[in-house]
Amino acid sequence: MIAEALAAPDTSPSDWMQQLREAFRQPSALAAYLGLDPVPPHVEDVFSMRVPRAYAQRMRHGDPNDPLLRQVWPAPAEHVAQPDYLDDPVGDLARLREGGIIHKYQGRVLLALTGTCAVHCRYCFRRHFPYADQQVTPARWEQTLATLRADSSIEEVILSGGDPLSLSDARLSVWMQELAEIPHLRRLRIHTRQPVVLPDRVDEALCDWLSAFPQPIAMVLHINHAQEIDEPLRQACKRLRATGVQLLNQAVLLAGVNADAASQRALSIALFDAGVVPYYLHMLDRVRGAAHFEVSEETAHKIMKALRHSLPGYLVPRLAREDAGAPSKTLLVG
């Protein structure tokens, strides 16, 4: 049975799994590693910390304002209630279908395969998502497939989560084999931050099943700052491109991280040098606990204007916002 195969534990954990288990889980431990002041107790949060050491190594020692650290550091501002900041800011729950499918846009659906991520970004729009009740599971997989098979308008499946690459390659290869047999599916898209924060995730087993998938694959990475792009990540991107995968990037505009033209210009250049196409620059999704990251649209438009003046068009991402209930992302032009 396919469900039994999916439910079977992975018996040969690879190095990236060990690194995931060794990730920083306490702010005090990460602060000590970076030579920062001891952490006051009020920064702890129900949205737990997880930071792989491979990602922490790219942070500047002794700098509490490091742009990578700010993305993962639990701040007191997360506990300040703000109007219009919601648990489900993009309307995922209203678009759920049988089998754990989120169907928001015509012709494509999203599968939340897991609630697990290698890194817990403090601005994550799914930080309050009820994964235990709504994610695709081995027990629901046959129902998921039946829903996809029955709707010939679905041409693209998006693997998301959490992070789909948090699952073992043995399990993912089974998912992919079944999806590849649905005749009206023309494309596969994978949204992941795992290769960014844990480059060793791009191992031989991952590349094997990516290479074997018969339909075109787009992998959308999530890189917010040029400092995230080090040599191990560049090599991981090289291995991914060798499988035939199209690499795109989707960044979020974040106060204190990348909300200036110089940071965005450096990011676009570093992305292209690594073989990744700048795709979207997102306005912050207004999720509860993330208001301190918001950047105004006025500032965003000024940044985009500066990028258009200093970069060729193919290096300028599209500025976008996701509005709950809208038939597509809203492109912000100005």
Q: Shortest CA distance to 267 belongs to which of 325, 227, 208, 300?
A: 227
| Domain limits for position 226 | 2-14+82-331
Q: Does residue 58 fall inside a structural domain?
A: no
Within-domain flag for 177: yes
The 10s digit of each residue's pLDDT in 233-276 is 999 999 999 999 999 999 999 999 999 999 999 999 999 999 99
Name which of 171, 69, 51, 46 is nearest 118 in CA terms: 51
Report phi then psi at 207, rounded to 5.
-65, -30
3-state secondary structure of 286: coil
Q: Which two tokens stand for residue 101?
A: 């499918």
The amino acid at residue 65 is N
Domain assignment present for 174: yes
CATH of the domain at 173: 3.20.20.70
Residue with tokens 């787009």: 218
As for how many domains the chain has, the answer is: 1
For residue 302, count other CB atoms closer than 10 A to its CB. 14
Task: Specify if 203 maps to a domain.
Answer: yes
Q: Is residue 263 part of a domain?
A: yes
| pTM exceeds 0.75, yes or no | yes
Domain-embedded: residue 91: yes
pLDDT, one tens digit per residue, over 20-72 is 999 999 999 999 999 999 877 666 566 899 999 999 999 999 999 999 999 99
Please indicate, yes or no, if residue 153 is contained in any of the structural domains. yes
Alpha-carbon distances, residue 263 vs 133, 225, 270 (angstroms): 39, 7, 11
Q: What's the pLDDT tens digit per position in 137-172?
A: 888 899 999 999 999 999 999 999 899 999 999 999
The 3-state DSSP composition of the chain as helix, strand, coil percent (nearest 5) reads 40, 15, 45
Instruction: Confirm whether 134 is domain-assigned.
Output: yes
DSSP tag of 229: -
Q: Can you tell me the mean pLDDT for 273-297?
A: 97
